[in-house]
């Protein structure tokens, strides 16, 4: 399972571990583009 968070602009963010050519690992964050631009309605 991928675990992330939502930023103040309501964008879903996930952390990525990127291994460089020198074998060091760099942590970067990626914004996930879901394509969703509407509203979500849930029943009471």
C-alpha 13/C-alpha 9 separation (Å) is: 11
Which is nearest to 29 in space by CA: 41, 43, 18?
Answer: 18
What is the total residue count of the chain? 44
What is the model's pLDDT at position 37? 84
Q: Which residue has the tokens 């460089």?
A: 20
C-alpha 33/C-alpha 44 separation (Å) is: 28
Provide CB contacts within 8 A for 11, sequence distance 6+.
31, 32
Helix (H/G/I), strand (E/B), else coil: 36: coil
Query: How do residues 1-44 score in pLDDT, each as one tens digit?
Result: 889 999 999 899 999 999 999 999 999 999 998 888 888 899 98
Spell out the domain ranges in the chain. Answer: 1-28
Q: Can you give the pTM of this predicted structure?
A: 0.62
């Amino acid at each position: 399972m991928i675990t992330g968070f939502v930023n103040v602009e309501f964008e879903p963010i996930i952390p990525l571990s990127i291994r460089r050519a020198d074998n060091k690992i760099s942590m970067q964050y990626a914004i996930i583009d879901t394509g969703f631009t509407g509203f979500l309605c849930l029943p009471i």
